[in-house]
Amino acid sequence: MKYILVTGSTEGLGLAAARSLMDEGYEVILHARSSSRSAALAAIAPRSAGVVIGDLGSVEETRSVAQQVNRIGRMHAVIHNAGTYGESRRNSTPEGHAQILAVNTLAPYMLTALIERPKRLIYLSSSMHRGAGTSLRDIDWVERRWDRDSAYSESKLYVTALALSVARLWPDVLSSAVDPGWVPTRMGGPNAPDDLTQGYLTQTWLAVSEDAAARVSGGYWYHRVQQKSTPEALDPDFQDRLMARLAELTGISLL
């Protein structure tokens, strides 16, 4: 049985990916931030293999999500789709982390470490990761003046480096980063120019396809075309320093 977890599946790319996978007959685990948000899944939840609930901005609730998933069984694939953008201020989480770092980077890192190792991992990146600063001194924006776009870009650089680091460290797992494009979702806005369908179908293709291209680990993808990420995301030294910093912030080691 091929279980596939899609985080952030109450709307947008995550919901579209979950629906597509269920239509193809896969056992999809849905995720909602809260019980109230899970109401958005009422139409498709009966067809799913379960719904896990937890706010990925909270370390405690992220741990709970991992525990809920592990109780269901080993995943074939995890699509780390959940993300946030447009934070006008730092917005601290219960543990004091910047919300955008917690949801976009710390949560996928924690879930990667805590969920029983699947066969495939897909992480949502963004073309904006190419404009990110590469210093790891203040990744949690404790000292710097808040900059919404810079914080988002950095969080996507970190999750891209996470995806490529996992590909290097876990050779038995297919790990990929995906740029879905600027697509018309709640986050992207109604006038976003990219193709929503291609955005989510790239995720589902990497999660289940037996095509040779989809079985290449360590790729950075845009609309099923492999592209180059920033050199830093590919750099083992940067990856190792980032993994150490994320372990320090979460108290969880990836290895």
Catalytic residues: 152, 156
Q: How far apart are CA 242 and CA 9, in angstroms?
A: 27
Q: Which amino acid is at 238?
A: F
What are the percentages of helix, strand and coil residues in the chain, rounded to 5?
45, 15, 40
Q: Where are the alpha helices (DSSP H) in the chain?
A: 12-23, 59-72, 99-101, 107-114, 148-169, 196-208, 231-234, 236-250
The rounded distance, in Å, linking the Cα atoms of 9 and 42 is 12
Strand order from edge to edge, sheet including 120-124: 50-53, 27-32, 3-6, 75-80, 120-124, 174-178, 219-222, 225-227
Q: Residue for token digits 């955008």?
A: 100
- Least Cα distance to 13 among 163, 152, 192 occurs for 192
What's the half-sphere exposure (Cβ side, CA atoms, 13 Å) at 24? Answer: 17
DSSP state of 38: G
CA distance linking residue 203 with residue 28, whole number of Å = 13
DSSP state of 65: H
